[in-house]
Structure 1
Amino acid sequence: MLLAKTLRSSTFRLALIAIGTFGLIVSVIFAYVYWSTVSYVRSRSDRAIMTEQANLRDAYARSGRDAVIALIGRRIADKSFADHVYLLVDPTSAVLAGNLSGWPANAADRGWSEFRAPARPPASGDPLVRIMTGTLPNGDRLLVGRDIGDIDDFTAQIRAAGIAVVVLIAVLAASASIGVTRRTVGRIESINATSRAIMFSGLDQRIPLRGSHDEWDRVAENLNQMLDRIETLMGEVKQASDNIAHDLRTPLTRMRGRLEKAYHRPRNGENDAALIGDTIADLDTVLAMFASITRISEIETRARKDAFRTVNLAEIAGEVVELYDAAAERDTTRLELTGDAEVPLTGDRDLLFDAIANLVDNAIKHGRAGGRVIVTCRNSGGSAVMSVADDGAGIPASQHDHVFKRFYRLEQSRYTPGNGLGLSLVAAVASLHGATIELRDNSPGLLVTLCFCNGRQVAQVGANA
């Protein structure tokens, strides 16, 4: 099955194309090397033959036919010329001198040719001889040549070696391509199998890693991280749905109870007015919840990033403190603003105001009765730093990772006004501004650190949840 998928895969087809192209290039290179080598070796042999032909003609020019016959005799007797062939015949083709029995049948009167000469002593194969022929002024024909059998064997070996190398490279390349393609198809099939398992059984499946730390392991790790993120988001969606259902049940149940009671009793203007007022208040609570969800979703889609401007963080914090001053006095809480007057930051003024307002509101609600909430803005090392600290009960460390989820509320806050969306909005604003959030113990109370990485600006926001 895997082999069939390997042979059908596009990777294997691409590998075959690459092998074919590479094989063609290698073949052209070896052909060039072969023909260059053969031409070079044959040219050296031809130059030696031409030189010997010139020497014999010079001898004829100096002393006539007898000098040529004498020189041919000396050449035949010299062992260093054992691979040479000589033949001198008169116009009637009678042999005058040489080591051939007669003029070769396929040899022209002048020019180059090749023929198989009988071996001396007789051997299994006649040697290949390359000759140069010509006619002397008196009509005699002169043949000078060399045994090129060794050259022929050499070129044959080069040709065989080239073919063997090309075939070997093709076999190795094909084997390597099949191996690589099988490995690639195997990893892809592993991912496909996991994907099918996820579709049928759920998000608890993960792509297995082989520990090779190669690109396929990195792809698998990224996909597994994506699945982890999807599983987390799905869990948050389920939790948000459960929390919405839980938070809507109470006001909707109250509204239904009031309406049913009013339906079964006589009309009374004063009672009906009170019923309508209470119902409107409950509806306002539900509508506010959905408005908060919509606002968080809008922020998370980064649709408002075009509204970023250079703002004064201290001025925004001052407006928040002024807004919540009356609420703090009602709870006998001292709300203070300290720090620098100018703390520049690039961001969305309205969103920053909402985030700071939610943190200050939480600090007042969940702080200690008669306690203090301190808002501090200052410039520190080229960064904008803002903190909101309270001295309330704080948040347990085990809950730090959960309080920014939508509708999540601590047990001690379950029966206080609110819907658990305030810190979710803060988290969305922080994400839009490229910020990170950290909860820390204020001993007593809580400090939420919110670092805005906007250029060189950093803002810290602390508050209770």
Structure 2
Amino acid sequence: MLLVKTLRSSTFKQALIAIGTFGMIVSALFTYVYLSTSSYVRSRSDRGIMTEYSSLESAYERSGRDGLIALIKQRIAEKSFADNVYIVVDPSLAALGGNLTAWPSTVTAARGWTEFRAGEPLPHATNRPLVRAMLQTFPGGDRLLVGKDISDLDRFADQIKTAMISVAALLFVVAGVASVLVTRRTVGRIESINATSRAIMRSGLDKRIPLRGSHDEWDRVAENLNLMLDRIETLMGEVRQVSDNVAHDLRTPLTRMRGRLEKAYHAQRIGEDDQILIGDTIADLDAVLRIFSSLTRIAQIETQARKGAFRTVNLVEIASEVVELYDAAAEQEGTRLTVVGDRQVLVTGDRDLIFDAIANLVDNAIKHGRAGGKVVVANENIDGRPVISVADDGPGIPAGEHEQVFKRFYRREHCRYTPGNGLGLSLVAAVARLHDARIEMLDNLPGLKFKLWFSAPIR
């Protein structure tokens, strides 16, 4: 099955194209090398033949037929000319001298270059040699053939050709096997990812793509996919938690509203009591609507659609407006609310969203801080980065719950029955993500300090 998928894969097809292209290049290279080698070998032989032919032609011009035959006999007797081939014939092709007994039957030209297989072995050889020769017909009709046994050169060229063909075939085989193995490995990793995907679709998000520890690109892809699955599983868990919390938080006000309406339906109409009942019902409906409004607002922020409204704003001005807005609420709780820090802390962002985030932090600090305590809003430029912090001196939040408090509808047990819907810090987190800001929660000893680290403003 895996082999079939390997042969059908696009990677294998691309490997075949690469092998074909590589094969054509290698074949062209080897052909060039073979032809160059063969041409070089034959050119060296031809130079020797031409030198010998010139000597014999000069002897014929000086001494005629007898001088030519005498020189050929002298050459045949010398060992250094053992590979040379000679024959002189009269106009009737009768042999007059040389180490060939008869004119080659396959040679019909009167002059020029020729190659032929000799009819009989040379005196020093046992096989019929392959001869490359120069022909000439003299004015009297006599013919001269002077050549050289190139059997060894021919065998050398054949060996080169065989070696090149063998190497090319070996390269093709190795490349083919390598491409199958590489493609098989690629298909195997892809199939592993596909199998995990199918398992996830069947049973849930608890499956993960196995890593092989090779730290290659496939392991990196698997790691990223596993991180993505972790993130999806976390988000799905948060969605389930949000659903549970929505059901929990809406059940009580909706039940109260139904009970009041049912009571009003069955009871006798009493003007003032009806007015109170309707007012309480409206208040509960407003609370429900605020929950859905907050959810919608957080969703809009997380889509990053608000980045078009970004501009340079001063955190100090926004913080001052928030403090002014909550001053009465702080005074009612006996809390001292102040703004400290630099006079100008510039950030690039959405003014309204930053206002909402600071307002939520200040509201939480007043609600959950110490009665008669203090809340400090500080604006600073730290190492070129704008920072705003909101600190209280209340009981604080345990370190184990720092991540939990940013989840939607999350409320600590002792806060369940205080006003609120558990969406304030979720909105702060969404605003921070939109502005690429980092949230830091610190122990204020006593109390809690929220810090928002913004990026340097774009100028």
Q: What does the per-residue CA deviation read over 1:9-59, in whole Å, with 9 as the maximum and x for residues that have no partner? A: 221122112112211211111111111111111121112112211111111
What is aligned with 2:215?
213
What is aligned with 1:460?
none
What is aligned with 2:18?
18
What is aligned with 1:41?
41
What is aligned with 1:56?
56
Are the equivalent residues in 1 in contact too, given 2:387–2:451 (CA < 8 A)? Answer: no
* CA drift at 1:145: 0.5
* CA drift at 1:455: 4.5
Q: 1:382 to 1:79 in 2, by over 3 A?
A: same
Are the equivalent residues in 1 in contact too, given 2:348–2:458 (CA < 8 A)? Answer: no
Are the equivalent residues in 2 in contact too, given 1:113–1:132 (CA < 8 A)? Answer: yes
What is aligned with 1:435?
437
2:122 is aligned with 1:96 = no
- Could you tell me how far apart the structure 2 residues matched to 1:165 and 1:346 are? 67
Could you list the runs of 5+ residues in structure 2 that have no partner in the other structure?
none
Are the equivalent residues in 1 in contact too, given 2:386–2:456 (CA < 8 A)? Answer: no
Q: What does the per-residue CA deviation read over 1:84-129, in whole Å, with 9 as the maximum and x for residues that have no partner? A: 0011112222222211101111212212222211114597642111
What is aligned with 2:148?
146
Q: Which moved more, 1:448-457 or 1:237-246?
A: 448-457
- Could you tell me how far apart the structure 2 residues matched to 1:42 and 1:385 are? 86
Letter in 2 for 1:33: V
What is aligned with 2:197?
195
Are the equivalent residues in 2 in contact too, given 1:434–1:454 (CA < 8 A)? Answer: no
What is aligned with 2:177?
175
Q: Which moved more, 1:430-439 or 1:88-97?
A: 88-97
- Could you tell me how far apart the structure 2 residues matched to 1:409 and 1:265 are? 37
Are the equivalent residues in 2 in contact too, given 1:433–1:454 (CA < 8 A)? Answer: no
* CA drift at 1:66: 2.3
* CA drift at 1:341: 1.7
- Could you tell me how far apart the structure 1 residues matched to 2:65 and 2:325 are? 132
TM-score by length of 2: 0.97
Are the equivalent residues in 1 in contact too, given 2:302–2:434 (CA < 8 A)? Answer: yes
Letter in 2 for 1:59: A
Q: Alignment partner for residue 228 of structure 2, among 226, 229, 251? A: 226
Letter in 1 for 2:77: A
- Could you tell me how far apart the structure 1 residues matched to 2:457 and 2:355 are? 20
Could you list the runs of 5+ residues in structure 1 that have no partner in the other structure?
458-465
- Could you tell me how far apart the structure 1 residues matched to 2:123 and 2:43 are? 28
Give the superposed CA RMSD.
Answer: 1.4
The percent of aligned pairs where both chains have the same amino acid is 71
- Could you tell me how far apart the structure 2 residues matched to 1:115 and 1:244 are? 102
Q: Alignment partner for residue 422 of structure 2, among 389, 396, 420? A: 420
What is aligned with 2:325?
323
Q: Alignment partner for residue 449 of structure 1, among 444, 448, 451? A: 451
Query: What are the within-5 Å matches in structure 2 for residues 371-450 of structure 1?
Result: 371-450=373-452
Are the equivalent residues in 2 in contact too, given 1:383–1:456 (CA < 8 A)? Answer: no
Q: Which moved more, 1:69-78 or 1:89-98?
A: 89-98
Are the equivalent residues in 1 in contact too, given 2:384–2:456 (CA < 8 A)? Answer: no
Are the equivalent residues in 1 in contact too, given 2:99–2:122 (CA < 8 A)? Answer: no
3-state SS of 2:135 partner: strand
What is aligned with 1:285?
287
Count of matched residue pairs? 457
Letter in 2 for 1:213: H
- Could you tell me how far apart the structure 2 residues matched to 1:412 and 1:170 are? 75
Query: What are the within-5 Å matches in structure 2 for residues 262-301 of structure 1?
Result: 262-301=264-303
